[in-house]
């Protein structure tokens, strides 16, 4: 059984939840939902959606960048 002291190195880099990080996450979610809507209505292509999504991960939140890359 592992003790807390034996936690993997990534545990030391836990993300701090602040008002700013939560706002960035919320903004990212809204941007993603908007893109899905634009894609469904034919205003953007799947390739454009992926490009925009990649840029959104870079701009809005490191948390999403780590999860989705």
49-58 tens-digit pLDDT? 999 988 888 8
User: Residue 17: its pLDDT value, please?
Assistant: 77
Residue 9, class by beta-carbon neighbours within 10 Å (0-12 exposed, 13-18 middle, 19+ buried)?
A: exposed
Domain boundaries, the chain: 19-68
User: Residue 44: its pLDDT value, please?
Assistant: 96
One DSSP character per residue, 2-55 reads --GGG--GGGGGPPP--HHHHHHHHHHHHHHHHHHHHHHTTSS-HHHHHHHHHH
For the segment 6-33, what is each residue's pLDDT rounded down to a tens digit? Answer: 444 555 566 677 888 788 888 888 988 9
């Amino acid at each position: 059984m592992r003790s807390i002291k034996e936690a993997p190195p990534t545990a030391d880099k836990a993300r701090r939840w602040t008002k700013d990080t939560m706002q960035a996450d919320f903004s990212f979610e809204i941007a993603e939902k908007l893109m899905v809507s634009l894609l469904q209505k034919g205003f953007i292509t799947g390739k454009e959606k992926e490009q925009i999504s990649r840029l959104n991960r870079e701009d809005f939140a490191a948390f999403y960048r780590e999860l989705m890359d």
